[in-house]
Structure formats: structure tokens, C-alpha cells
Structure 1
Amino acid sequence: MGRLLPLLSLLLTVSHVFAVTVYNQVPLADQTNTASSATYTGAAAYDPTVLNPPPVPVGFVTQVSLNLQATSNNVQGLSPPLRGSFLGFSIEFSVINQVSDSFLQVPFLNLMSNIRERAGEVRIRVGGNTQETATLVDSLPGGVMMAKAAVDTNNPTQTPAILYTPEVLYLLGNISALVGVKWFLGIPFNDTTNLRLGIAEVGEAVLSGPGYLLGFQVGNEPDLYAAHGHRPATYSPYDYFGEFGVLVNAISADTSIPVKNNLVAPSVSGTWSPEDVFNTGLVPAYTSSLGFLSVEHYPTDNCYAEYGIGTPVSPQDIFPTYLTHNASLALVAPYLNASAYSASQGKQFVMMETNTASCGGFPGVSDSFGAAMWGVDYALQMGVGGFWGGMMHVGGQDVYYNPFTPPPTNQSSYHQWTIGAVYYSSLFIAEALGPTGSAQLVDLTNAITSNGGPVSTAEYTPVYGVYENGQMARLVAFNYVSDGSGASAVSFSFTVQGGNVGSVQVKYLQAPSVADKYNTTWAGQTFGGTFASDGRPTGSLSIQTIPCDTTSSTCTVPLPAPCIALIFLTPTAFSESNPSTIQTFATTAYTKTVNTATINPSVLATSNGMNGAERGTVASTSNEGGAAGVRVVMGWGAVIGAIAMGALGVWW
């Protein structure tokens, strides 16, 4: 691959498992159990607001049962085969340096390694609004790999253009060489009369050969181009169809882009439906160029609180809407037709960007254990609904929904990372689906019974089955209810008809309450609270072995309130999802350089996601002076030095 990759290969042949040097032993930031977001003035990623959990539903049923088929032969509603890498991450182009800058940040590598070892790979999309104006250049002053150009005052959203060098793509390649990440990238689409294909040319050269490149997104939320002032008010799906053809022709004529069939479209956000674009004839016209069909969607937004736009939303009032199976059903239902159409055209259907709410999410909701439960249910429902995968968005310090947040760069020597709720969702999905690529999901919620009859409260106790190679392998069972008294713990009994189950192994994702944000555990282990993690779970692993009635193959699994249980029905399913060793990484290097790009908040007013806004004004890690070319990251000499430090510091 060139550049640093041969060095990394050499280091990895020395020792597969790296010892991790603990960054520091200083006390963590104080964690308040309850607080008002109105009085908290720090960055959203560390907001201590804790909401009240919803009350126990009236008539909540705590004794439920289910009959399962041992094989999938006669099972209706099975998903296509899926991989454990299903729930990946979407990182805004402008903040890629935050999650893994020129030091190849160790916590990020460890977080990705956790998933890779369980799922076989990790999927990450790098793009968003800032992909549209990004320009590849040969070099930048000071040897940096990314910088912010001057803001165009004629642009109503004032999105700064991102200048970057090929080093960004070598950075991605080296991450992949270490932790098996596969990437979606975005081709700039703000000016189709002056296409900039450098990211595809260099991206193919660096990432395609080793199999690290999934595809190139053509336009991020083109249905919002007019609202953002990037196209005329009359811009329509047919205009997008025409511009897509311009790009296809340009790629076809570019000999530096050897792969011609990995484009991703249309990535609409809801102003247009995917059918609006499909009705233009885009897919049959350009089927040989398309690798994936895609959408982007958030269930709601917090734009009023952030920018005074739209309608005020109370986090406490909206919190219960995330804590029911119906939430996931409602999110996926609008895309069932599009996913079926994608399959009929031989294309994978992808949710390129999503999370709990656009404009940064909600305090006490997006960072709660309830959000982790919502993320698992949503991902599984997308799988049932024909999606190939989904990407949870990652923003900067001033969002509530991040799966992971590095400390401000000038605090990295005494603060560690903050791991968010939906990272647990991705880790859970990695184990629930496993690495084989043969897992097929079925939503069994409607089959839940109690005393032989339907359960009116089943939306709080959904169940999914996972068949692997045609055999029942795992179950995922929820209890969305919070009740510290223990009275709402659910007894979940299931019978595997035609099977022979002597015992099951169970791992729990749980917390004291759906509103809790500091005490989430996965099989007894945790990533801790604010500034607490180096990317590795801590604590003693806890896996329950529960005997079953071998005569009837009936098992009874307790579901504490709240929790999600991952139930392994076979030793093979358990061993696939539970690696005996996890590769970790070491370094003693810190980055204190103030080094992040910023985006004017107005670009987010009509946008999904949170792509870097307000980092110049809230919990800033940028040197805000209004000058063009703000230094973003250091050159590759620092990368080699950091990796070398880690390599020389390993113990084996």
C-alpha cells in the first residue's frame, strides 16, 4: 500500500497483542446524578443531565413465552443474510481528525478492534455536509493533512471548504491495516461543472486493493441542496438524475479510477423519498455504476434548542417514545418498499447516517441507557426490513449522541475518552449477528404469548431470533421497563420445537434505569463514564449459564428491568461471537495541539446530523481567529513516531 503500511505490517508480525499503557491515574471529572441542562454550560458530550424514566406501563405482563422453530425452513419474515458489522459509524469529514488524528489514537483503535474481533470487520462512512466542499490538494503549509479554507460569504450556509492532502486517505488505510475498517467516502458534489475526483482517484489507489473501500457516496442529502442554497429552489430529483449522469461519465473517462461500480445514491433525508429518485429511472439507467442504494434519516430533531428553528421539544416528554418496540417499527416502515426495490435491482440498501435526533440529539435521551436499547432495536429492525447496514453519526464535542468522544485535544494527557450509549448498541449487534455473514433475523414479537394468549404489552418486551446457516443460533430479548423494585423483571420462557437444547448462555446489556448514563454494563463490563475509557471494557466478565428442560427443550431466562439479553442457543454461536483474545494497542504519545476544523452552525439548521458546528464557541478545541487555513493536524512524522513508541513499548 505504500507509505506507512509496510511498517505496520512489520510491527504486527512481531506481536499480535499489544500491551496498553495507561494514560494517567488522575481522578475523573465529577459525575452528577441529576442536573438541569439549563444550568449546565459545558460541552454537550459531557452534559450530566439525567431524566426520569417512564413509569411501569399499566398491566405490564411479566410472564411471557414463545415457541421457536429449530430450523428456518418454514419461518416467515426472515431477513437477508447479515454480518455483525451491520451497525457501523458515520463520521463527519471535518472531524475525522478528532476520532483518529495523526497519532492514530489508541482508544479509537481499541474501540474498533472490539467490534472487528466479534464481527470480522468494521464499517465507517466518512462524509456528510463537509464532503461536498472538500478539495484534495498536494500539500498544505506546515505539512498538515487538513485545513479550513476561507468562508465564502456569498454562501448562505457559510460552509467552510475543507482542504486535505492524500495523507488523510493513507491515515484511513493504516487504520484499516490495524483494525479491519472498511470505508464509504463522499465525492464532492457541490459543483458538477467542476467535478473534483481526487478522493476517488487516491481512495481507489490506497484503499481498494486491500479491500478496504466499500464505495463513494454521490451527494449528501441532495433533497436539502435547495434549502442550503447550493442549488436553485426548483432543484428536483430529475436534476439530481442528470448530475449523477455527469459524474458517471466523468468516472468512466478517468483511468485513475479503475473501479466503476461502487457509487452510492441517492442518500435523501426525507424531503424527497427514495422513490422520488427511483422514479426518475436512476437505477436501471446507471445500474452498472451503482453499488449501493441509500437513505439518511433521524427520528426527530433538536434544532429549536440549538438554533431556534422549528418547534421546541422537551427531552423528558419525548424520552418515552424511544423506549418501545413501536419506535423501531415506525422508523423502518417508510423504507420497506425502497429496500425491496433495492433487492429487486440487485443492490444493497444502506442507512448512511442516523442517530437519536438531528441537531445534536437530546440531553438525557441520546446519552442514556435507553438510547443504547433503542439503537439495538432499531438496528435489528433495519436488518429485518432489508437493510444491509446502518451508520450511527459521530459529531464533535457539542453533541449528545456520539458513540465515542475524544477529550479536547489540549486535555488528552489527563483525560481519556467518553463512550456513548450507541457504541454499546454496535458492540451488541456485532455479537448478536456474528462474523459469518449467514445470520438471518426474524422479529418474533407478535408471537409472544402469556397463558396462551397475546400480550398487550409486548411492545416493551420485543424478541428477535437469529438463524445461522438455517439453524436457530441466538435470541435477543428486551425489557424496556425501569423498575428498581424487581417487580417488573420478566420471566421469558421459550421452547425450541424440533431442537435439543440442554442449556443456554446469556449475556446482558443492562443499567439500573433506562435514564442512567454512567453505569451501563455489557456482560458485566463497562467503558465507564465521562473521560473514563481507553477503548477497552473494564470489570469482570459475567456470562450466565441457564439449564433448560431437556425433555421439551424449554428454557426460562430472566429479564431484569431494564435490560437486553443475548441468548446463545449453541456452543458454536457463542464461540463465534466471543473471541478469546482482543487485539489492543499502546502508545505514550499525546496530542495537545489545538487542531479541529469548525463549521458555521447555520449549515445545520436544515440538515440532519451535527457535523462540527459550534466547536468554535462551545467547548472549543479550535483556535478561532477567523483566519483561513487553521492548522488541523500534524504531519506523518508524528504518526510514525507515535506508532514506533507503541511498538517499542509492547510487552510480550
Structure 2
Amino acid sequence: MYYPLFALSTCLFASAVHADVTIYGLLGQTTAAPVQTGTATGTTQQSATTSFVTTHGPPQYTELAAYNNIYMEPPAIPNPPPANQFAIGVPTDATLMNGLSIKQSGTFFGFSIEMSVVNQLIGSCPQDLKVPFLNYMSIIAEKAGSVHVRVGGNTQETAFVVPSLDDGKIIEKNKEDASNPTSTPILALTPDLLYMLANVSSLVNINWYLGVPFNDTANWRFQIAELGEQILGDRLLGFQAANEPDLYGAHGHRPSSYSPFDFFGEYALFTQAWEADTQITRKNTVIAPSTSYALWSPEQVWDTGFVEAYGPYLSHLAVEHYPSDNCAVVWPDPNNPPRDPLVMFPQYLTHNAGINFAKPYLNSTRLAQQWDKPFLLFETNSASCGGFPGISDTFTSSLWGIDHALQLAHSNFSGALFHFGGQTVSYNPFTAVPTNESAVHGWTTGPLFYSAVFVAELMGQSNTTQLIDMLPNNANDQTPAYAVFENGKFSKMALLNYMTDPSGANDYTATIYVGGSGWNEPNGAPASVKVKYLRAPSVSEKDNITWAGQTLGGRFASDGRWQGDLDIQTVQCDQTQNMCQIKVPAPGAALVFFSDEAQAAATGDNDIATFVTTAVTKTKNTVTVDPSVLATSNGDSGKSRLSNMGGTSQGGSNGAMSVVAPGVAALVSVLAGMSVFFRVSR
């Protein structure tokens, strides 16, 4: 049963009066030049609704990158095309399958949020949370069990904590005094930022990574860690110390000669200060080295003895890496000319992209297992500096994101965090509506978020998931497939089709044989399987994307909840022939549920707890929340974090639910730009 929640917010009024800049620099291909129009081959063609790019350099447009209309014709079907009928054999018993990954968790596909934009995505203060953010995260948490989110990035390096800021703000950016080529501002933040994260975790099962500054090795600032431990408690996963240190020299943060051995020496200073800080009680929560692969390979760091020296402090090993960059559009560099999106486009529509990305890290993931440390891709996305409009914000990124994540899991990474920027980037999993349009528009769901949903459901909640890249269809790079085992048994299969063909001629059918004589097992095909499809009309589609028949809406059209009717298809198998035939559209992806347990989990979509917003008047709104979510979503019900919770009846004493302090209520920003307290009536 759901109950209305309502009240007023003081921090809402502050944020309404003082509009905060929530992104630094000018990211992506946003320019003041006229829009270029034409087909992908350069023929002029005007369009009232769609902007086409040409072969004469990168596209230009005047809109914010998150909402651009850049369109590129999908790549042609390969000639000759791959076979559209092929077989895949898989055993029922994992012990018969060589090359399986380590055991993976449902939290594998996580998110990275730049510290300077938390007020845009999560909330403006502990009492003011963004409803769509909660809804998006709830979708992932319901399938994965929980969500891992990192708050950090370049802005963590100069961050410092102050007791308070004017008008109740939680962050304040100082770009004028910043000195770096990427225009990263100096960031002041208050403890309320951390209380806000704790409030979010009281509603949705989210655990956090935090970044701590590494810019001043003579005066370490550990307040984020000290307060993070106190406020987030067991919701805290670890602290990243140093963000892309291999770029410190190039970005002017260290001498140009800065080397892995210099970094090793600075980490000695860091760990000494970390050990001496009595307010940090969990010393083994550090995440490093977080190199970007731009200048140093991981091996160059390992060769210094880094893990052997600092292993007792390290909870995770991590790297950051994007497969490409779009930086030259923002920061012209004669050594890095702008990349032609028409050339880049097909590079994201091939299975080899993920294989080639993971290959340089196979030695590191092997070493990480020897050192008993999880190995994370701590920040990634389709391309750094905001991604490529027309690629990063299309169905291409949905398919690329699935394949990218699953290839990393197959290669024994333990997690990958996909990065958010602001409204001037095109790769966001989702984007908040501009403040001045929040009364009339909703949020924008990025195609990459559908990748997160797919992967969360594939990984599930068993924490025993193992994957293998099946390389079917003679290892054709347009038709990849992964087999999934849980608790040692075959449970699911992921099938992708990178081609775009509205005629259906390049849809393919995979015939999956389960067990049988080829594996020296009894036949294992079930009587039927459940299938969820991720679909779009083409890889260039931005808005019309569905997962199991439902959509999260196009640009400016989402509140983070599913729209439409759920469509889980049942495919009958031929147990006599021991086979199940699964058709995969061009383009599209299919998640096939084989085991009884997997099929049961596939049908639980109606159990997702969402936060509904309804405008009642200009001054009063309602939010409906399942009270059982408030009672259980925090793992320990929040009771150990706050002793004086008070009653929860409307109008009652201490009636507001919060983890901040007695009498302080957590509230939610509704889509109409209003805010309301969480207050659950009984």
C-alpha cells in the first residue's frame, strides 16, 4: 500500500534563488556554428526534425550535447553478411566449460558521478532528493540487489570540506582560481553532501565509493574520509586516492617528468598520513592506482612494488579508461586532431571493440586474483570529453555498453563504473532536465542506461555468476553471445546483433543446444525459455528504445519509471532435439532465461519500488512510497544510524524519516520543480 508524503523545504528555496552551475568546461561537440545538414555521404538534405552529419569534419550544432539531434546513417550490412542461422552448444555443468570468469555480482555495472554535479543528479541538499534519480537506481537495485555508485573524478582532487555554504548549498565551484588545462574547478563541499547520500541509501539500496584529494602531499585533507565513515557507515565501499595520476604531469599538477616511481613515493606519504589519522578507523579501504592508460600501463605501476608495499591499505585495484576521446573539439591539440564520427561509428558496432579494450588488462586481472584484490574499471564510457553525439546517445551505445561490460566481466574485472557528466555531454546514462525547464519537461534517459538494466538482470543476485564469451557464428563480430552460469549451472544466455536491417533479412536465429552427448551429459534443454528483448528501429535511434516491451521515455520524457506493458516472451524448445531456437532482431539483444530459477526471477518486474510524483497544486505535491521500502532498503532499517526517529504519522511528533538528525526530514524534488518531505502515513 502506498501513502502520500508532503511538506515544505528550506533548501529548495535556496536552490531556486541561486542557480548553481553544475558542469565545468564545455564538453562534447557543442559549438555556436550552424548545424550541418546532409546524409552520411554528404548529399544535402534538409530535415525539420533531424540533423544529419556529413563527411566534411565533425558535426556542429547549438544545442546542449545531451539533447542534440545529430543523426548518422547506420553502417551498411557487411558484404558478405554473417550467417543468420548458427548453433551454440553449452553444457549444463560449469565444470565442463573451460574459460569461465571469476564469480561476479549483480552490482558489476555501476555508475560514476563527477563530484561537482551531484547537486544536478542526486539532490541539492539532504532534504531535497531527485525523484527520477531514485527511480532509475531502484530499477537496477531491484534486479542486481544493490547499486554501486562512485562520487569523485577530477573535481575530487581539489575538494575541501567547509562547515557550511551560503543559502544551504552543498557544493560551490571556484573555476576562476583553478589552474589546469581541463578547467576543473576547485570544489568546496559541506558534510550535507554526505548526509544526502546517506538519505538516498535509506530509500534505495545504494553503496558508495568516494574520492579524496591527492593534490597536496604536504597537507593531506582527509575530511571526506573521516566524515564519510561517520555518516555512511557500512554504505561506504572505499576511498579513491589519486585520480588518473599518469596525467598529473601533462595537466600541470606535477612536474612533466612525473613517473610511476614518483607516484610510488607520494603514496608512501599518503599511507603514513592515512595511518596516523585516528578519525579513520577502517584503514584498508583505499582504491588505487586509478591510472588512465594514457601514459602509464598498469604494469609500470605494479613494477614499482606498489601492491606489495601498500596492499594492507588497498581494498580494490582500479584503472580508468575510455576506448576513445572527443577532446580535440573542446581543447584543440595539433597532436590529437578531431575524430571523424563517421569513422568512429562502426568501431562501436563490433564485438572486437570489447576484446581489444580488455586485452591490455588480462595480465592485471590475473595478478589481482593472486593478490586477492578486486580489479575495477573505475571510470569509463564510450569516449572521454563527453562522448560522440550521434553515437554515445544512440542505440549503438546500448549494444556497445552490454558487450563492453560483459567482456570486462568475462576478462575478470570485478566491476565497471560508467561515468556521468552534465547536460553538455552526450554519453550520460540519464540526464536531469535543465532547471529552467523542470516545470514542463522530464528527464532524458540515455540509451546506455538500458545496458545497465540488461547487465543487472543478467548478473542477478546470486553473487555466483560466471560468464564466457562463446564467439559463435565462427566468431563473427556482428553476432556475439555470452553464456551465463549461476551456482555452477547454466542459467542464461545473452545474444547481440549489431546490424541494422528493417527488412528482417539480417535478423538471426541461434539454435542453442544444452548439454547432451557433445558434453557427455544428458540432454538439458528445458521445455521452454523466457526471453526479454532490447529493441530499437536502428542503431542510430535515440528515443524509441524498449526493454521487454517497455520504455523509459525519450528526451525530456522520463521520470525514471517504466512506461508501457511488459512483454516477456515464451519460446518453446524441442526437447527431443535438445534445442531452443532464439531469434535476434537487427539490431537488438536478447536475454534468454534457461534455468527454473532464472525464469522465476525474470518475471519479477512488477516488484520494482518506484517514487511517484503528482502535482496537486502550485504549493503542494505528493510522493507515494511503499513503506516497506523505507523499512528495509537500508539493510539495517536505518535504526542504528538514528536513535530518535519518532513517529511517522502525518502531523505526528518527529514525523519525518531521515538519517541526518532528529527532526530533520528527507525530501524529494518532484518533476514540476517542487519539493516535499518524506512523511509516511500509517
Query: How does the TM-score come out when normalised to structure 2?
Result: 0.81
Do the aligned residues in 1 keep the contact of 2:327 with 2:385 (CA within 8 Å)? yes
Q: Which moved more, 1:269-278 or 1:466-475?
A: 269-278
Summarize deviations over 1:365-406 as a string: whole Å, max 9, x none.
Answer: 001101110000000000010100001110011101000100
| SS of residue matched to 1:286 | helix
Q: How does 1:136-215 map to 2 (within 5 A)?
A: 136-149=161-174, 151-152=176-177, 158-208=183-233, 211-215=234-238
Which residue of structure 1 lines up, in the alignment, with residue 468 of structure 2? 442
Do the aligned residues in 1 keep the contact of 2:432 with 2:444 (CA within 8 Å)? yes
| SS of residue matched to 2:451 | helix
Do the aligned residues in 2 keep the contact of 1:302 with 1:357 (CA within 8 Å)? yes
Q: Return the match for 2:676 from 640, 645, 652.
A: 645
Counterpart amino acid of residue 422 in structure 2 = G
Alpha-carbon distance, 1:169 to partner: 0.4
Do the aligned residues in 1 keep the contact of 2:171 with 2:190 (CA within 8 Å)? yes
Return closer, same or farther for 1:205/1:64 CA change in 2, 3 Å cut-off: same
Do the aligned residues in 2 keep the contact of 1:18 with 1:585 (CA within 8 Å)? no
Which residue of structure 2 lines up, in the alignment, with residue 514 of structure 1? 539
**Whole-angstrom CA distance in 1 between matches of 2:261 and 2:159:** 25
Mapped pair 1:257 → 2:257: no
**Whole-angstrom CA distance in 1 between matches of 2:158 and 2:261:** 22
Mapped pair 1:283 → 2:304: no
Do the aligned residues in 1 keep the contact of 2:532 with 2:547 (CA within 8 Å)? yes
Q: Which moved more, 1:577-586 or 1:350-359?
A: 577-586
**Whole-angstrom CA distance in 2 between matches of 1:513 and 1:158:** 36
Counterpart amino acid of residue 597 in structure 2 = T
Alpha-carbon distance, 1:16 to partner: 9.1
Alpha-carbon distance, 1:645 to partner: 2.9
Mapped pair 1:525 → 2:536: no
Which residue of structure 2 lines up, in the alignment, with residue 328 of structure 1? 354
Which residue of structure 1 lines up, in the alignment, with residue 73 of structure 2? 52
| SS of residue matched to 2:284 | coil
Alpha-carbon distance, 1:333 to partner: 0.6
Do the aligned residues in 2 keep the contact of 1:589 with 1:642 (CA within 8 Å)? no
Alpha-carbon distance, 1:158 to partner: 4.9
Q: Any gaps of 5 or more consecutive residues in structure 2?
A: 7-46, 516-521, 619-660
Alpha-carbon distance, 1:584 to partner: 0.9
**Whole-angstrom CA distance in 1 between matches of 2:52 and 2:85:** 36
Mapped pair 1:228 → 2:254: no
Do the aligned residues in 1 keep the contact of 2:666 with 2:678 (CA within 8 Å)? no
Q: How does 1:24-103 map to 2 (within 5 A)?
A: 32-36=49-53, 38=59, 40-60=61-81, 61-102=83-124, 103=128
| SS of residue matched to 1:317 | helix
| SS of residue matched to 2:311 | coil
Do the aligned residues in 2 keep the contact of 1:267 with 1:296 (CA within 8 Å)? yes
| SS of residue matched to 2:87 | strand
Q: Which moved more, 1:44-53 or 1:238-247?
A: 238-247
Summarize deviations over 1:554-582 as a string: whole Å, max 9, x none.
Answer: 01011111111000002311233443411
Alpha-carbon distance, 1:647 to partner: 4.1
Counterpart amino acid of residue 230 in structure 1 = H
Mapped pair 1:267 → 2:297: no
Structure having greater relative contact order (Cα 8 Å, sep ≥ 6): 1
Q: How does 1:601-620 map to 2 (within 5 A)?
A: none
Mapped pair 1:114 → 2:139: yes
Do the aligned residues in 2 keep the contact of 1:31 with 1:48 (CA within 8 Å)? no
Which residue of structure 2 lines up, in the alignment, with residue 630 of structure 1? none
Alpha-carbon distance, 1:150 to partner: 5.9
Query: What percent identity do the matched residue pairs reach?
Result: 47
Do the aligned residues in 2 keep the contact of 1:84 with 1:118 (CA within 8 Å)? yes
Q: Any gaps of 5 or more consecutive residues in structure 1?
A: 1-13, 20-29, 450-454, 593-634
Do the aligned residues in 1 keep the contact of 2:121 with 2:130 (CA within 8 Å)? yes
Which residue of structure 2 lines up, in the alignment, with residue 427 of structure 1? 453
Alpha-carbon distance, 1:244 to partner: 1.3
Which residue of structure 2 lines up, in the alignment, with residue 8 of structure 1? none
**Whole-angstrom CA distance in 2 between matches of 1:565 and 1:581:** 22
Return closer, same or farther for 1:642/1:296 CA change in 2, 3 Å cut-off: closer
Query: How does the TM-score come out when normalised to structure 1?
Result: 0.84
Mapped pair 1:219 → 2:281: no
Summarize deviations over 1:321-374 as a string: whole Å, max 9, x none.
Answer: 111110110111111111111111000000000001111111110011011100
Do the aligned residues in 2 keep the contact of 1:214 with 1:262 (CA within 8 Å)? yes
| SS of residue matched to 1:371 | helix
Alpha-carbon distance, 1:638 to partner: 8.6
Mapped pair 1:480 → 2:498: yes
| SS of residue matched to 1:192 | coil
Return closer, same or farther for 1:647/1:152 CA change in 2, 3 Å cut-off: closer
Mapped pair 1:575 → 2:600: yes
Summarize deviations over 1:169-203 as a string: whole Å, max 9, x none.
Answer: 01111111111111111110011111000000000
Return closer, same or farther for 1:214/1:641 CA change in 2, 3 Å cut-off: closer
**Whole-angstrom CA distance in 2 between matches of 1:157 and 1:398:** 14
Alpha-carbon distance, 1:35 to partner: 3.8
| SS of residue matched to 1:204 | helix
Which residue of structure 1 lines up, in the alignment, with residue 560 of structure 2? 535
Return closer, same or farther for 1:363/1:201 CA change in 2, 3 Å cut-off: same
Counterpart amino acid of residue 222 in structure 1 = P
| SS of residue matched to 2:88 | strand
Do the aligned residues in 2 keep the contact of 1:402 with 1:422 (CA within 8 Å)? yes
Alpha-carbon distance, 1:207 to partner: 1.2
**Whole-angstrom CA distance in 1 between matches of 2:5 and 2:454:** 24
Return closer, same or farther for 1:483/1:646 CA change in 2, 3 Å cut-off: farther
Which residue of structure 2 lines up, in the alignment, with residue 343 of structure 1? 369
Do the aligned residues in 1 keep the contact of 2:549 with 2:566 (CA within 8 Å)? yes
**Whole-angstrom CA distance in 1 between matches of 2:382 and 2:569:** 31
**Whole-angstrom CA distance in 2 between matches of 1:17 and 1:387:** 43
Which residue of structure 2 lines up, in the alignment, with residue 248 of structure 1? 271
Return closer, same or farther for 1:241/1:578 CA change in 2, 3 Å cut-off: farther
**Whole-angstrom CA distance in 1 between matches of 2:569 and 2:301:** 49
Aligned pairs, how many? 575
**Whole-angstrom CA distance in 1 between matches of 2:225 and 2:320:** 22
Return closer, same or farther for 1:154/1:559 CA change in 2, 3 Å cut-off: closer
Q: Return the match for 1:413 from 439, 446, 455.
A: 439
Mapped pair 1:544 → 2:569: yes
Do the aligned residues in 1 keep the contact of 2:381 with 2:418 (CA within 8 Å)? yes
Q: Which moved more, 1:260-269 or 1:250-259?
A: 250-259
Summarize deviations over 1:245-296 as a string: whole Å, max 9, x none.
Answer: 2121112111211101010000000111111111111101111100000101
Return closer, same or farther for 1:421/1:172 CA change in 2, 3 Å cut-off: same
Do the aligned residues in 2 keep the contact of 1:82 with 1:440 (CA within 8 Å)? yes
Do the aligned residues in 2 keep the contact of 1:301 with 1:359 (CA within 8 Å)? yes
